[in-house]
Amino acid sequence: MGFSTILDILASVIIGGILLTIVLRLSDSAAEKTYNYSGELSLQQNLVTIAQIMESDFRKIGYSKDWESWRANPLSNMPIFEADSSSIKFYADINNDGVMDVIHYYLGPVSELASTPNPRDRFLYRVVNSEAPVGVNLGVTEFFMTYFDALGTPLTLPIIAPSLIASMEINIKVENVQAYDEKYSSAFWRQIRLASRNLQYR
């Protein structure tokens, strides 16, 4: 075997290795883009789902189909009766049946979802009346609220007098539950100054 033949073989091996590396990188890049694209779509869908449910519930704060009966109840003066940065309890006729329900939203600890790849995701709980808490894991990593009085001044947390709440700001951040190479995409939703109509009639 001549020297030129050995050089040809080495050149072929080097070129083949380079081509193989390029193909592997392209394949890895294509897989990452596909994974991220599907993750982004899922992320947006999760955020829209959470936002729709919360907006529907929060706009019903203090609402009752049987308005006359509810107005006669002393509790009608305080439809929101517990409020903190990541927890809120309020009265609302969710089922439109004339019976007031107690709705409780709160964020669970990170430790509850230690088994998921994302180290920051948590359960967002929505509890109606005395039902057992059921956590929804849609990649929520942040849920915090700011409350305002009738003049638009932010109220100090924790809220000692919930009757002062006239409007609120809701903030939610979601991330992918799983991510390619631990690169988690995120999306943020903020409802600025949401005010239930029934908070104005106290």
pLDDT tens readout for residues 56-101 = 999 999 999 888 888 888 888 889 999 999 999 999 999 999 899 9
Q: Give this prediction's pTM.
A: 0.79
Q: Which two tokens stand for residue 134?
A: 């059921």
- Token pair for residue 40? 């982004």
In this structure, how many other beta carbons lie within 10 angstroms of the beta carbon of residue 129? 11
Q: What share of the chain is helix, strand, coil (3-state, %, to 5)?
A: 40, 25, 35
Whether 193 and 112 have beta carbons less than 8 Å apart is answered as: no
What are the tokens at 35? 């994974």
pLDDT at 24 over 60: no
Boundaries of every domain in the chain? 39-200
C-beta neighbour count of 58 within 10 angstroms: 21
pLDDT in tens, 107-133: 999 999 888 888 999 999 999 998 988
Q: What is the pLDDT of residues 154-180, one digit of tens each?
A: 999 989 999 999 999 999 999 887 766
Strands in 74-136 per DSSP E: 80-84, 87-92, 101-107, 124-128, 135-136
